[in-house]
Amino acid sequence: MSPAIDNVVRDLLAGGDTAGAATAAIRGYGPQVVRFLRSLLRDEDDAKDAFSRFAEVLWRSLPAFRGEASLRTWVFTLAWSSAHGLRREPWRRHGRRFATGEASAIAEEVRTRSAVRDERRRRQLDRLREALSLEDRSLLELRVDQELSWAEIAEVLSSVREVVQPAALAKRFERVKSRLAAMARDQGLLE
């Protein structure tokens, strides 16, 4: 699915249609990003705020996308930054919301369509994921739900100050899986 979205977005950008390219990127990757943000933030309002923030950043910055990473990796980097920024700056959650513009309207459309389907699944996993740190939830979501490679996840989670190595992520992932399995057994979710 992602190569098709990537090709559409690149073609629209090459043709000078930045609004169309941003719309295609948000609609194409939006449902995955919504699931990612809900899983990380575990609060519908926070996920909504982070998704709106993500959509606005994508809308503004897509024309500058250089293609050094896949579009999918870049999209999840923006989503991670939006979630991380929301957590770092909790006062933003209580501030004035964006005025509804094109990107916000599209973000709301994608978020609403995805809400009903994802709610059932989210409730079952929330109890287990609650005990994990934001970084561990991100690792789990990016690897399992979004199926990113270790190199892509390392790129998403790295910052200017700290470069994350793919091998270290793989080891950390194994520890997280073991911890989740033990928690699931303790809660009677696994036999």
pLDDT tens-digit readout, 91-133: 544 554 444 566 777 777 777 766 655 665 556 567 777 788 8
Q: Residue 54: give the domain boundaries.
A: 2-186
Half-sphere exposure of 165 (CA within 13 A, CB side): 3
pLDDT mean over 41-62? 90
Q: Is residue 34 situated within a structural domain? A: yes
144 pLDDT band, cuts 50/70/90, is confident
Answer yes or no: is 152 within a domain. Answer: yes
Burial class (CB within 10 angstroms; exposed 0-12, middle 13-18, buried 19+) of 45: exposed
Number of domains in the chain: 1
In a domain, 191, yes or no: no
What is the reported pLDDT for 115? 66
What is the reported pLDDT for 122?
59
Nearest CA-CA partner of 76 in 45, 36, 131: 36
Stated pTM of the model: 0.65
Whether the per-residue pLDDT at 34 is higher than 90: the answer is yes
Is 119 inside any structural domain? yes
Residue 146 lies in a domain: yes
**Measured between alpha carbons, how far is 36 from 72 in angstroms, rounded to an integer?**
13
Higher pLDDT, 117 or 67: 67
**Could you tell me if residue 15 is inside a domain?**
yes
